[in-house]
Amino acid sequence: MLRTGFILSRNADVVWFLLLPYFALAAALACQEWLPAVAVASVALWITIPHHFATWLRAYGIAEDRQRWKGRLILGPIVIFAMALIGLRWAPITVLILAILWDKQHALMQQHGFARIYDFKAKTGAAWTGRFDLILNWVLFSNLFLTSPIFTPVWLRELYRLHLPLSAEGVRVIQQISWSVTLGYALIYAGQLWWTVRQGDRLNPIKYLFLASSYFLWYYAAWHTASVLVYAIAGQIMHGCQYIVISYWYTRNRTERCGDLTSWAASLVRPAHLRLFLVGCAFYAFVYQLLIGQSLEDFGFGALQLQEQYSAPIRYLAVSQMDSRVAYDLFAAALVEFTSLTHYYLDSFIWKVSDARTREGL
């Protein structure tokens, strides 16, 4: 009935894929307890930015892939950056919500991709397993977004600002439907696991421990923290560290298989050059921090005043006027999210597990 398989190795998977979410959550709660808002923003930036460096290494460091995706690698980042700047001025929270949703789609697809690798390595699951896993990811996150105390005020504020207010009863109905759909799909998912075993296929228990750890982090952080940034720290420690590990390992495999041992990417990911790779991540984050090292308000050129844009309270829903701390948190979160957009875009095609060359590197 069960067969185990690992992405890297037994010990490495325990550290990076099974226990890391709990360490990330503990670190985020410690930040909430002891660090001021500006320090929390700095932690979020320092965790997020190094894993962007791993993206550029993965996307632009392998000659074969640069040639395959030349047009997308050049034009995509230019278009995305221009649209993000326009969106910041027009409807900042709407664009922030879209960025967060893209971030979550990106994070979900990363966890889904890891789950597919677990099945691939252990030769487990049925033909339909991938589809059921993907739907499970979307159902669980959609429920998190619609019902959690940390996200509900965000989408309520924007609906109110766009003159699409919901009554308290309307919010309650939406959340009840969301929980009903989630519980219903959980039963369907359990049924397909039973049917998979009945058909003679096996299950990889490590995959389900991995998914349970990931969603424990997201749900606990969304219900038990008071800041969007604290939620972001927990998610980014998990997501960023796992991404850096898989990117380093994948790029090393691909460059060795292709015999590309003289390129800049290959020199960074050689086993003997691990320190150089880590220094590269840290230096990239340091340069980025220097570029935006002034106050967040100055970075926005005074054009983005969230506290003024969302000054009206929603009294009948007991949503108070946005205070300066919430406005600061949202703007800092937006800054982190918008710098990630190109990262999300590149990952939408460079990590396709259905691609034979990607599977070869994995």
Segment 21-47 mean pLDDT: 76
CA 105 remoteness from chain centre: 7
Tokens 């766009």 identify what position?
A: 162
Does some domain include residue 189?
Answer: yes
301 backbone φψ class: left, alpha, beta (φ>0; ψ -120 to 50): left
> Would 123 be classed as within a structural domain?
yes
How many CB atoms sit inside 10 A of residue 273's CB? 15
Is residue 146 within 8 A of residue 175, CB to CB? The reply is yes
The residue-averaged pLDDT of 124-144 equals: 95
Give the residue-averaged pLDDT of 114-120. Answer: 94
Region 277-294 average pLDDT:
76
pLDDT top residue among 244 and 348: 244
Classify residue 227 by burial, with Cβ atoms within 10 Å: 0-12, 13-18, 19+.
buried
Which residue, among 199, 268, 255, 322, has the nearest Cα to 53 in the 3D structure?
A: 268
Domain presence at residue 151: yes
Is 314 a member of any domain?
yes
8-35 mean pLDDT? 90
Percent of the chain having pLDDT more than 70?
Answer: 79
Confidence band, pLDDT 50/70/90 cuts, at residue 346: confident
**pLDDT at residue 8 is higher than 60:** yes
Tokens standing for 152? 């509900």
Does the structure show a pLDDT above 80 at 309? no
Confirm whether 2 is domain-assigned.
no
User: What pLDDT is attached to residue 215?
Assistant: 95
Mean pLDDT of the chain: 82
Residue pointed to by tokens 């929603």: 314
**Number of structural domains the chain divides into:** 1
Q: Which residues contact 30 (CB under 8 A, 6 or more apart)?
A: none
pLDDT at 316: 59
- What is the reported pLDDT for 331? 61
Check residue 15 and report its DSSP letter: I
Q: How far apart are CA 134 and CA 113, in angstroms?
A: 9
- Band of pLDDT at residue 301, cut at 50, 70 and 90: very low
Residue 226 DSSP label: S
Supply φ then ψ for residue 2, to 5 degrees.
-120, 145
Q: What is the pLDDT of residue 4?
A: 95
For residue 116, give both structure tokens: 């597919």
What does the pLDDT look like over 200-239, one tens digit per residue?
999 999 999 999 999 999 999 988 875 676 787 888 889 9
Please say if the pLDDT value at position 302 is more than 50: no
Instruction: Show the domain range for 108.
Output: 10-361
The token duo for 206 is 């490590």
Residue 104 located in a structural domain: yes
Q: What is the pLDDT of residue 199?
A: 94
Q: Quick one: pLDDT at residue 160?
A: 82
This prediction's pTM: 0.78
The more confident residue out of 263 and 50 is: 50
Between CA 355 and CA 262 the distance in angstroms is 25
Which run of H or of E encompasses 63?
helix 63-68
Lowest-confidence region among 86-100, 282-296, 343-357: 282-296
pLDDT at 298: 41
In a domain, 4, yes or no: no
What pLDDT is attached to residue 336? 58
Angle between helix 274-291 and helix 37-60 axes, rounded to 10 deg: 120
Q: Distance of alpha carbon 255 from its chain centroid, rounded?
A: 26
Query: 3 lies in a domain?
Result: no
Contacts 24+ apart (CB under 8 A), 313-319: 314/156, 314/157, 314/160, 314/165, 316/167, 316/168, 317/156, 317/166, 317/167, 317/168, 317/171, 319/153, 319/156, 319/157, 319/160
Instruction: Tell me which residue of 245, 275, 340, 292 sits closest to 16, measured CA to CA.
Output: 245
Report pLDDT digits (tens) over 313-339: 666 566 666 566 666 566 666 655 666
Distance, in Å, from the CA atom of 202 to the CA atom of 119, rounded to the nearest integer, reads: 9
